[in-house]
Chain A
Amino acid sequence: MSEQQTSAESSNARPTTGTARVKRGMAEMLKGGVIMDVVTPEQAKIAEDAGAVAVMALERVPADIRSQGGVARMSDPDMIDGIIDAVSIPVMAKARIGHMAEAQVLQAIGVDYVDESEVLTPADEANHIDKWAFTVPFVCGAVNLGEALRRIAEGAAMIRSKGEAGTGNVVEATRHMRRIRADMRRLTTLDSTELYAAAKELRASYELVAEVAAAGKLPVVLFTAGGIATPADAAMMMQLGAEGVFVGSGIFKSGDPAKRAAAIVKATTFYDDPDVVVKVSRGLGEAMVGINLDDLSETQRLAGRGW
């Protein structure tokens, strides 16, 4: 018997943390749910009251990062502690792309998921964090299948389509979700010889490409993010194949956050039932003011961050 087999057997006999299965499995438990950006414990409570499956702690919501400018970083540890104490649902937090020390801090604080996020100012313009080195799982953004598979190869246990955060405009989320799904559909039509060239084109590992081609889906959960502002936006993204929804500025930049948050939760569960979406869409007050993507210059776009 090889040494490897022996160690695999003994590791099965006693509790093992930080495995790919528990990391990816955590994301499975969030499916069909809404994860809401919060910057304070008070906002986290509103999100939990509304039925969020998790909250995402960050320093400023994307709309404020856009309007205020400057470097956007990981949230203050005291603020994250406050959010963890305020709610009983999972707490996620954002780290800058490539900033392994921020991610280490978040893991030490005890957050349940780290979002290595393009919404914050990147700390490394060539490399993402080696996510296999962590016990805490990571979610990463992607605009297409190649990017998603590169993140998974680095250890991401969940993927979200990027969209364009802080705009309240769902068009980029739609583009990225459709693109990822179309890329996957295409792979399922290729023969085994063609998969090698496809992997090269996608700039992704052959093993992951072959896995997606066989399964027709990612090996991890796929959520959507970036620009979701209404219950109908959430329902649309679910119909496009998202397994759940991140909402950032769309809730706390609107007129009645508590009501809008609860409405988006319900529309996500009943995404295919227009009667429910109608009912929850009434009387929500002002939606966040949106931004047309044509009004953003290339440097103002966040989705291009990540490599």
Chain B
Amino acid sequence: MTRIGVLALQGDVAEHVRMLGECGADAVPVRRPEELLTVDALVIPGGESTTISKLAVEFEVFEPIRKRVAEGMPAYGSCAGMIMLAERVLDGRDDQRAFGGVDMTVRRNAFGRQVDSFETDLRIAGVDGDPLHAVFIRAPWVESVGESVEVLSRVTGGRADGRIVAVRQGNVLATAFHPELTDDLRVHRLFADMVRAAAAG
């Protein structure tokens, strides 16, 4: 069985652990460099990206995670996690750092403040069946992507019509929304399949 870590410095860690468990993965929280060594893949949860960035640096998991993602470890990030997996971040703090992994520029809090947070239905490439009900909370969007990035989903309607909100590059998956706040396992299943495929190599 593949072992998937959830970065547990801050944010909705328990929700991701539950979803991954329901997908049949062995999911464990990761806060320390030695814990990172025991996992095949890593999920970066929703939360406050500036806090997660600061704690990752201070507790010396930043470089090890950056390195493993660069070396091809499968990773999935939702919301703040998407920001952490971006090569370039707009509207962040000056000292904010990201692991990288996806050749994209992400704009933090792009949809607005909490009063603008919303739910909507989305079509996502690689996710079959009904549209996925997506929850966006002070969410980022993807401003631009490099050539090797696959755009999986865009929002439709409203003033953000057409904005990119789900991407994949190689073994790295990122969504601006929070599938972990619903009972729909399809995005986590997609990631668990990516992790299995990578392990089978």
Instruction: Name the contact of B115 in the complex, choosing from A18, A28, A33 (C-beta under 8 A).
Output: A18
Report Cα–Cα, A17/B117, bound state, in Å: 6
Interchain CB contact under 8 A, A29 and B121 = no
Interchain CB contact under 8 A, B92 and A88 = yes
Instruction: Name the contact of A113 in the complex, choosing from B9, B114, B157 (C-beta under 8 A).
Output: B114
Q: Which chain A residues in 17-67 approach chain B with CB under 8 Å? A: 17-19, 21-22, 25-26, 28-33, 48, 51-54
Report Cα–Cα, A32/B47, bound state, in Å: 9
Interchain CB contact under 8 A, A12 and B114 = no
Q: Report the nearest B residue to A244, measured CB to CB.
A: B10
Least Cβ–Cβ distance between A90 and chain B, in angstroms:
7
Instruction: Name the contact of A15 in the complex, choosing from B31, B79, B91, B119 (C-beta under 8 A).
Output: B119
Binds B, one of A74-82, A121-129, A264-272: A264-272
Q: Known contacts A19-B119, A266-B58: does B114 contact A136 (CB below 8 Å)?
A: yes
Interchain CB contact under 8 A, A88 and B109 = yes
Report Cα–Cα, A136/B113, bound state, in Å: 10
Q: Is A284 an interface residue (CB 8 A)?
A: no
Interchain CB contact under 8 A, B116 and A17 = yes
Report Cα–Cα, A34/B165, bound state, in Å: 28
Q: Which of B93, B117, B119 has the largest count of A CB atoms less than 10 A from its CB?
A: B117
Residues 106-129 of chain A: 1 if any B CB is under 8 Å from the residue's CB, otherwise 0? 010011110000000000000000
Residues 87-117 of chain B: 1 if any A CB is under 8 Å from the residue's CB, otherwise 0? 0000111000000000000001100011111
Instruction: Name the contact of A52 in the complex, choosing from B9, B51, B118 (C-beta under 8 A).
Output: B51
Q: Is A258 an interface residue (CB 8 A)?
A: no
Report Cα–Cα, A21/B119, bound state, in Å: 8
Q: Is B23 an interface residue (CB 8 A)?
A: no
Least Cβ–Cβ distance between A107 and chain B, in angstroms:
7
What residues of chain A lie closer than 8 Å to B135, measured between beta carbons? 21-22, 25
Report Cα–Cα, A105/B116, bound state, in Å: 16
Q: Is A89 an interface residue (CB 8 A)?
A: yes
What residues of chain B lie closer than 8 Å to A48, measured between beta carbons? 50, 93
Interchain CB contact under 8 A, A137 and B11 = no
Residues 111-149 of chain B: 1 if any A CB is under 8 Å from the residue's CB, otherwise 0? 001111111110000000000010111100000000000
Report Cα–Cα, A13/B47, bound state, in Å: 26
What residues of chain A lie closer than 8 Å to B118, measured between beta carbons? 15-17, 19, 22
Q: Report the nearest B residue to A14, measured CB to CB.
A: B157
Contact size range, B: 35 or more
Least Cβ–Cβ distance between B26 and chain A, in angstroms:
21
Q: Is A135 an interface residue (CB 8 A)?
A: yes
Interface of B, secondary structure class, is loop
What residues of chain B lie closer than 8 Å to A52, measured between beta carbons? 51
Least Cβ–Cβ distance between B132 and chain A, in angstroms:
11
Instruction: Name the contact of B158 in the complex, choosing from A15, A31, A53, A88 (C-beta under 8 A).
Output: A15
Q: Known contacts A32-B9, A266-B58: does B50 contact A51 (CB below 8 Å)?
A: yes
Instruction: Name the contact of A29 in the complex, choosing from B46, B92, B119 (C-beta under 8 A).
Output: B46
Interchain CB contact under 8 A, B119 and A16 = yes
Instruction: Name the contact of A14 in the complex, choosing from B91, B136, B158 (C-beta under 8 A).
Output: B158
What residues of chain B lie closer than 8 Å to A22, measured between beta carbons? 114, 117-119, 135-137
Residues 4-17 of chain A: 1 if any B CB is under 8 Å from the residue's CB, otherwise 0? 00000000111111
Q: Report the nearest B residue to A134, measured CB to CB.
A: B115
Report Cα–Cα, A217/B47, bound state, in Å: 21
What residues of chain B lie closer than 8 Å to A266, measured between beta carbons? 55, 58-59
Interchain CB contact under 8 A, B138 and A53 = no
Interchain CB contact under 8 A, A25 and B10 = no
Instruction: Name the contact of A25 in the complex, choosing from B92, B113, B181 (C-beta under 8 A).
Output: B181
Interchain CB contact under 8 A, B114 and A13 = no
What residues of chain A lie closer than 8 Å to B155, measured between beta carbons? 15
Interchain CB contact under 8 A, A16 and B120 = yes
Residues 1-41 of chain B: 1 if any A CB is under 8 Å from the residue's CB, otherwise 0? 00000001111111100000000000000010000000000
What residues of chain B lie closer than 8 Å to A54, measured between beta carbons? 48
Q: Known contacts A89-B48, A90-B114: does B10 contact A112 (CB below 8 Å)?
A: no
Binding site for A on B (CB under 8 A): 8-15, 31, 46-48, 50-51, 54-55, 58-59, 79-80, 91-93, 108-109, 113-121, 133, 135-138, 155, 157-158, 178, 181
A-B contact pairs, 22 of them (CB 8 A): A12-B120, A14-B157, A15-B157, A16-B120, A17-B117, A22-B117, A22-B136, A25-B137, A28-B46, A29-B11, A29-B46, A31-B47, A32-B10, A33-B47, A33-B48, A48-B93, A51-B50, A51-B55, A89-B51, A110-B115, A136-B114, A136-B115
A26-B137, A269-B59 are known; give 17 further A-B pairs, CB within 8 A. Answer: A12-B120, A16-B119, A16-B120, A22-B118, A25-B135, A29-B47, A32-B9, A32-B47, A33-B11, A33-B47, A51-B55, A52-B51, A88-B109, A111-B113, A112-B138, A265-B55, A269-B55
